[in-house]
Amino acid sequence: MDFQDTAELAVFRSEVKSWLAANATRRTDKHHMGMEGEAAFREAKAWYRKKADAGLACLAWPREYGGAGLTPVHEVVWQQEVENYLTRDAQFVIGIGNCGPAIMHFANEDAKRELLPRMASAEDVWCQLFSEPSAGSDVAGLRTRAERDGDNWILNGQKIWTSGAQYSDYGVVLTRTDPTVSKYRGLTLFMIDMRQSGVEVRPIKQMDGGQHFNEVFFNDAIVPDNYRLGDVGGGWTGALTVLMSERLAISGIQPTGFPQFLDLVKSLQLNGRPIAKDPLVRERLATWYSQYAGLQASYKRMITAVAKGGIAGAEASLGKLVGAVMNQEIANFCCQLFGPAGIVQDTTLSPEQAHFQDSVLFSPGVRLAGGTDEVMRNILAEQVLGLPQEPRADKGIAFQDIPTGPAS
């Protein structure tokens, strides 16, 4: 796909620039996002509603589902322009970027028309409930049960590392409905109302001071059958759609750290001379620029596939793997460049409003979200390069017969 602006895209880009200039704060301004927690969430919802009212939310979604009815290329234009501003778009990437595509592909029409417009306007916030204490990288090993009860399903179990669950109205939850078949075949995907009494959310305190992740407990939580996504026992197909959409969404919005590093190189002095003259810094700059340019090209290639009616494939793992690692490496390197100031996490005292200090603390979580580095490498090896699968001791075994080790 040619990503040069057509006349139509040029007009759209101009409109986006004008709207952002009037409604958002540029990253080059000496400004920090500041607030966290409940206050940040309220600010994020207000921002997204303003964006939706302007017709700039869910650009590629059909109008009947609350979108703008445009194309994925319009999304690319938006991402290119919005990266110059401080916004809270990331607060909704899980719902709109991960859950939304799965609902469009697998939900019944009534559920789509009921739930997607409310998601698109940020009236409802969504979370993704996959990982469990004993099922992280091997998410198909999950144990949360869903049992049929007439026209409903009863859920019992625990999820962990669920981002934004304490603010969410709904979630997409992967459950086990049949333990008598292999672990991948016995899964079913549902949408669940997070506000019911059978759902308990416990925020997890992070080392950066935030509470973005949560434990979620289901105690006879009720899900109507019309909130099922896909066939009973077909949950793994839906889960892959969510995971690949998550990796594509992360590729589009995740921080790589490179634009901020480039700005730093242009302005910082080390021992009385411009840091740009340091050979090590120049070497790192060239290396990370090459990776950054590759990520941009890879993202455009994936968007091209989606624009032709496909879904995000295994290649989405590439952007997630490279970008997340690069973000962490840049953050660590810059904090070393700052010397003693690199350990000061104070937006009023630290260089660049403590951007790199914040990244040092948060970037490990980005490398875990949507799959660890090792999982990404396996996906690329097996599904892109066509290499043999790793040996699996549980292959062909019913989930209930898989050894779990001695009881403690």
Closest CA to 257 of 333, 349, 315, 317: 333
Which residue's structure tokens are 């952002």? 20
Question: 186, 140 in Cβ contact below 8 A?
Answer: no
Task: List the catalytic residue out of 75, 246, 315, 352.
Answer: 246
Question: 48, 82 in Cβ contact below 8 A?
Answer: no
109 is catalytic: no
Distance CA 116, CA 170 (A): 11
Task: Enumerate the β-bridge partners of residue 114.
Answer: none
Query: Does the CA dihedral 176-180-183-185 come out positive or negative?
Result: negative
Instruction: List b or e across 351-377, with b for residues whose CB sees 16 or more CB atoms inside 10 angstroms.
Output: bbbbbbbbbbbbbebbbbbbbeeebbe
Q: Residue 230: how many CA atoms within 13 Å on its side-chain side?
A: 26
Contacts 24+ apart (CB under 8 A), 42-51: 43/88, 44/88, 44/91, 44/92, 44/122, 45/91, 45/122, 45/125, 47/87, 47/88, 47/89, 48/88, 48/89, 48/91, 48/92, 48/121, 48/122, 49/121, 49/122, 49/123, 50/23
Alpha helices in 185-270 (DSSP H): 235-253, 258-267
**Tokens read off for 300:** 């455009």
Q: Residue 2 CA to chain centroid, in angstroms?
A: 26
**Tokens read off for 395:** 């292959």
Question: 144, 192 in Cβ contact below 8 A?
Answer: no
Distance CA 286, CA 267 (A): 17
179 CB contacts (<8 Å, ≥6 apart)?
Answer: 186, 398, 399, 400
Q: Residue 364 CA to chain centroid, in angstroms?
A: 14
Instruction: Please give the backbone phi and psi of residue 88, each rounded to the nearest 5 degrees, phi first.
Output: -115, 35
Residues that are catalytic = 246
